[in-house]
Amino acid sequence: MHGTKALIAALFAWGAVGLWSPEEHPYLAVATALLMVNASTVYRSVTQSAQSVGARVAGLVLALVTARLLGATSAAVAVIVVIAVLAGPRRSADDRVQIASIAVIGLAASAADPMGSLVSSVLQTLVGAAVGILVNALVLPPLYLEESDSAVRSLAHAMGTLLHDMGVGLAQRRLGTASHGWLHRARRLEERLVHAREQVQQADESLRWNTRCVAQARRGDATSGEAFLALRGVSLQVRGIARTLVDNAFDGHADHRLGQQFLDRYVETLQLAGAAVRAFVEPPAPNGGAEMSPRERLREAIAGVLDWHETMTVLIGEGSLTRPGAWHVYGSLMTDVERLLADLDRAHLHAEGVVDGAVR
């Protein structure tokens, strides 16, 4: 498809220049069209065209002025380089190099034809940019929704798997031996977050000025942006749980160690949290409603642990049990998993609101 679009753009650019100037060789128009048609998105092809045309016009004007004042000499080349380097603090280094390169090439052309060659170059650039944009916008303009969805699903599965593995490790009494590995994996989630954010941003950009979206009535909510924002919050909770567990495993105070009764309850909570995170990015089952969703099961597990927490608090208040030194650790672990569920719930309610709004 890229090759087909490039061929169409090249032929149209060649033919368009031939309509108004049959004797010229439209190589510049073809080269510009190829650059614009291969832009990653329609929006980027437009912005790149504007930047390219602006840099080309600036370079050719600079070449014309220096040729008039100094001629096609080494002094003119030196002036072009100095001016291009100092040309506006907001210009990027690439823009400045492009301006200088075009100006030097234009300087050679202006020695033979001071105005004609420069005007022709500008017109060819404009024609090539217009053809490249039109072909990129009308011939299967690129969309990156699948790549965005895949990156977000991969992120959710990595988080869900880590939560599940932490639950299995606690059930197997491997807190001391496996907790450092859990923390390392939780920190590595940042790399997946960066990749997913880039994919979501590219998908959002590909929807701008995209004719396929207009034809299919696609909207910005078709991307995985909301799911990514929810998972970014969830990643903080996952990392917090892993950090709390590793800190507790190597805490020098014996009375701060987590009790096995709590850990047995927290095992189920972590495994259900992992299932809820993985299910968050999966489409609902066709016969949904008959079976309790992973988020509902997680909510019940959290409620069960909190009920146990209240019972233990009452017993400690009555003096039936010794006050545990790890009470603050219990609170930290439960706060993280409650926030995880809250992030999933918030995103789910927002998605339902979007759907309802679209229906209305």
CA atoms within 13 A on the CB side of 273: 32
Residues 66-94 have a mean pLDDT of 69
The rounded mean pLDDT for the chain is: 80
pLDDT band at 113 (very low <50, low <70, confident <90, very high): low
Cα(193)–Cα(137) distance, integer angstroms: 30
- pLDDT of the residue at 207: 87
319: left (phi over 0), alpha (psi -120 to 50) or beta: left
Residue 327 has pLDDT above 70, yes or no: yes
Angle between helices 327-359 and 294-317 (to 10 degrees): 150
The sign of the torsion formed by the CA atoms of 341, 347, 352, 353 equals positive
- pLDDT of the residue at 303: 85
Amino acid letter, 309: H
- Structural domains in the chain, sorted by start: 2-138 (no CATH), 145-282+291-359 (1.20.58)
Q: What is the pTM of this model?
A: 0.75
Residues 153-159 have a mean pLDDT of 95
Each residue of 166-186: pLDDT tens digit?
999 999 989 889 999 999 999
- Comparing 360 with 347, the larger pLDDT belongs to 347
Q: What angle do CA 92, 98, 101 make, to 5 degrees?
A: 145
- pLDDT of the residue at 105: 63
* 163 close to 273: Cβ distance less than 8 angstroms: yes
Lowest mean pLDDT segment, chosen from 108-112, 199-203, 311-315: 108-112
- pLDDT of the residue at 83: 75
Give the burial string for 1-14 (b: 16+ CB within 10 Å, else e): eeeebbebbbebbb
- pLDDT of the residue at 357: 43
pLDDT band at 152 (very low <50, low <70, confident <90, very high): very high
- pLDDT of the residue at 296: 87
